[in-house]
Amino acid sequence: MNSAALTAGGELAGRILDVLAEATTDAPGITRVSYGAGERFAHDLVRKEAEKLGAVARVDVAGNLYLTLSGRDPDLPALVIGSHLDSVAHGGNFDGAAGVVAGLAVMAELGARGIRLPRDLIVLATRAEEAVWFPLSYPGSQAALGLLDPQALEARRSDSGRTLAEHMLEEGFDPDAARRGVPGIGAAQIAAFIEVHIEQGPRLVTAEAPIGIVTGIAGGFRYVDAKCLGAYAHSGAEPRFARHDAVLGFADLVAALEIEWDALEREGHDATITFGRVQSDPTQHGGSRVLGELGFTLDVRSAEATVLERVEARLRTILAEVSARRGVTFELGQRFTWQPATMAPALIEGLDRAATGLKMQAPHVPSGAGHDAATFAGAGIPTGMLFVRNENGSHNPHEAMEITDLDQAIRLLLRFVTDFDNSPD
């Protein structure tokens, strides 16, 4: 499929993404800091583009942006297409933003075809989805639904050290109202929430499929400051029986969790277990020392809550066994958790029907990464999600989504929203 075959909405999406890339370039990638200049530029840009399409714009107390194309009956719950516009530092241009511009593209196609939906269509651009800036899960979308934990407003941004409340206020929003739980939209006002996002793994590339229908979003738990504590000793003088080697204790932990992961996969469960950072103290370690302390992070994810519970229980057993065998101790430190989210079966069926009607290949895929869609699903709102094929992963400058693939998602979304009120019960 070449650019000449793009829908008008696809061409609009491509143009907006190009402007975003040029305006927020931060070599070697792009940077749109949550509640910072890049995110602000992106929100202003999509607002202007939506208003050209006849949408009405408003923001809530946390700065989430609602772009509403009115339907025939404004009292009906709305269809909402949404994602985020912030990015990680030096990341790619498509993570989050592709989903927002896909929503604008659907608006453009409806206008071009003279279609007015029975209900409002809202494109929602959320704030602060990327947890690299604030150590929080989806504060923007939580605030949109009035569900933000008041304590979250005291979280500090990683680059500035200032709180979420301070940054929110600086951008012209109302953290006090967010603290009180003033929502931007109520769950009862949403008939369905759909998020479009680049895939952050290789499944669609491997399947040679331009788009995929997401079945669920993984939940998980993470320890960000864990330690294995042993005792420093001379590498030549300390015999094996007397050692308390932090490296060997940590290695046993890794090997045992790998065995557990193998067992989960044999039983047909999806999960990931990641030691994302392993480090020792450069002022203490050395080529002739037994290591006495090793720090690490542990990140465990699955869309199945029972799997997360199983891994957590197995972890505790492993730590006790390794501690006894190696003469070390483990301190896991603070634990962060987030819940799995299952996409609504009725919406998956609707997306399947749209794909079949358009003769598109759209396999079902899981999401190992978190997304704003998890907030809406967790609030009991019917939620669906589309992935767009993307090489080289995300959160890096080498994201490689093709606009022709995004255009396929736009076509599918257009069919989905126009058929929504004609779907079988």
Look at residue 16 in the predicted model and tell me its pLDDT.
Answer: 98
Mean pLDDT value across the chain: 96
Give the whole-angstrom CA distance, residue 413 versus residue 97. Answer: 16
Look at residue 2 in the predicted model and tell me its pLDDT.
Answer: 42
Decide: helix, strand or coil at residue 134.
coil
Q: Is the pLDDT of residue 341 over 80?
A: yes
Asked if residues 323 and 278 have their Cβ atoms less than 8 Å apart, the reply is no
Give the rounded distance of the alpha carbon of 412 from its chain centre: 21
- Reported as a pLDDT band with limits 50, 70 and 90, residue 377 is very high
- Which of 42-46, 154-158, 279-283, 392-396 shows the lowest per-residue confidence on average (mean pLDDT)? 392-396
- Reported as a pLDDT band with limits 50, 70 and 90, residue 424 is low
Provide the token pair at 312. Answer: 């957590």
Map tokens 């990641």 to a residue. 274
Look at residue 137 in the predicted model and tell me its pLDDT.
Answer: 87
Q: Is the pLDDT of residue 157 over 50?
A: yes
- The pLDDT tens digits of the residues spanning 228-251 come to 999 999 999 999 999 999 999 999
Look at residue 369 in the predicted model and tell me its pLDDT.
Answer: 87
List, as one string, the DSSP characters of 45-70: HHHHHHHHTT-EEEE-TT--EEEEE-
Distances from the Cα of 191 to the Cα of 75, 170, 299, 402, angstroms: 11, 33, 34, 30
* Bond prior to 363 in cis (omega within 30° of 0): no
Q: What does the radius of gyration of the chain's CA atoms come to, in whole angstroms?
A: 24
- The pLDDT tens digits of the residues spanning 173-202 come to 999 999 999 999 999 999 999 999 999 999
Q: Summarize the confidence of residues 62-71 as an average pLDDT.
A: 98
Q: Summarize the confidence of residues 264-289 as an average pLDDT.
A: 95
- The pLDDT tens digits of the residues spanning 67-97 come to 999 999 999 999 999 999 999 999 999 999 9
Look at residue 1 in the predicted model and tell me its pLDDT.
Answer: 36
- Reported as a pLDDT band with limits 50, 70 and 90, residue 65 is very high
Provide the token pair at 311. Answer: 């891994």
Decide: helix, strand or coil at residue 76.
coil
Share of the chain above pLDDT 70, in %: 98
Look at residue 83 in the predicted model and tell me its pLDDT.
Answer: 98
List, as one string, the DSSP characters of 315-328: HHHHHHHHHHHHT-
Return the higher-pLDDT residue of 14 and 370. Answer: 14
Look at residue 339 in the predicted model and tell me its pLDDT.
Answer: 86
Look at residue 133 in the predicted model and tell me its pLDDT.
Answer: 97
